[in-house]
Amino acid sequence: MEEIISYLSHHTTAQKVLISFVLIVINILVVQFTSKILFRAVKNSSTYYNLRKRFSFTFTLILIVLILLVWSESKLDLTTYMGFISAGIAIALREIFTNIAAWFIIVFQKPFEVGDRINVNGQTGDIIDIKLFQIVLLEVSSIDFGEQSTGRIVHVPNNFIFIHSITNANKGFDYIWNEIEVRLTIDSDWEVAKKMLDEIINQHALNLTPGVKESIYEASKKYMLYYRNLTPIVYVNVKDGYIALDVRYLCETRKARVTENDIWKAILIAFKTNDQIKMHQ
């Protein structure tokens, strides 16, 4: 052992070879350890693969920089080298860092929470989990198909909050304005139809109980929400070849399809018995 130490002390090249070997071994161990941690922490295979590759690339980059430092004869200040290493890490792991930063914003600012229904980058779903790197959604169908659950799980990167607008159907208060367009032929008696629609939506639309009004009042203290009129209304409009009666009413976020179904059944039954009203094809 003394001979080995004596030999290394007099041969700089041997020292550098030994240090480089140790650094390579440490790098391999760190990569394996990180992979095991990620395998346990990340359940999604695609996310695990991407994170493992990024960490592996970053550790390899650091290894190369350290080996260059060992073999380099340059006298540059250590802070300069650290600056290069930091820049490399920031570039290689920029998405990871932005996901973590977005996670802090989500947790502390709470633009949405577990259970909220959001739309981000054209993807709509109910939040079932918020992780360090991603938001987990239970996908729902489009408005045309009633926003019903599809059963598919969607993983959305947290940093999407920086680059995409997010619609939250629950933030503010748990009610939305839903609209139904009823089309009549030009020769139909739209006044009779409007009166019938007024009666129908007043029967099926959300009742403005004190609890609903209180919810809206509480929401108005957090956001600039101001509704002068909360009662259902029917708007009349003439379009290309038909009369449009637009029914607008307040309903709970997840009951839009149910109320729309009930209202449409009532409309069809009411119009069926009136010869003055004809639905436009």
Written as six digits, the tokens of 3 are: 């001979």
Q: In the prediction, which pLDDT does 90 show?
A: 66
| Average pLDDT for 172-194 | 85
Q: Are 251 and 205 in contact (CB under 8 A)?
A: yes
Q: What pLDDT band is residue 197 in, cutting at 50, 70 and 90?
A: very high
Which domains are seen in the chain, by residue range? 2-92 (no CATH), 110-168 (2.30.30.60), 175-272 (3.30.70.100)
| pLDDT(227) > 80 | no
Average pLDDT over residues 33-46: 77
Q: What is the pLDDT of residue 94?
A: 76
For residue 218, pLDDT beyond 90: no
What's residue 208's pLDDT? 56
pLDDT of 50 > 60? The answer is yes
Radius of gyration of the chain (CA): 31
- What's the confidence (pLDDT) of residue 118? 85
CA 100 to mean position of chain CA atoms: 14
Q: Is the pLDDT of residue 245 over 90?
A: yes
User: Residue 272: is its pLDDT beyond 80?
Assistant: yes
Q: Among 183, 231, 244, which residue's Cα sits nearest to residue 205?
A: 231
Query: 96-110, 126-140, 210-224 — which is least confidently predicted?
Result: 210-224
**How much of the chain exceeds pLDDT 70, in percent?**
74
Name the band, by pLDDT with cuts 50, 70 and 90, for residue 36: confident
Copy the structure tokens of residue 276.
């003055």
State percent of the chain over pLDDT 90.
9
Mean pLDDT of the chain: 78
Pick from 205-214, 228-237, 258-267: least confident: 205-214
Residue 38 has pLDDT above 70, yes or no: yes
Model confidence at 196, pLDDT cuts 50, 70, 90, reads: very high
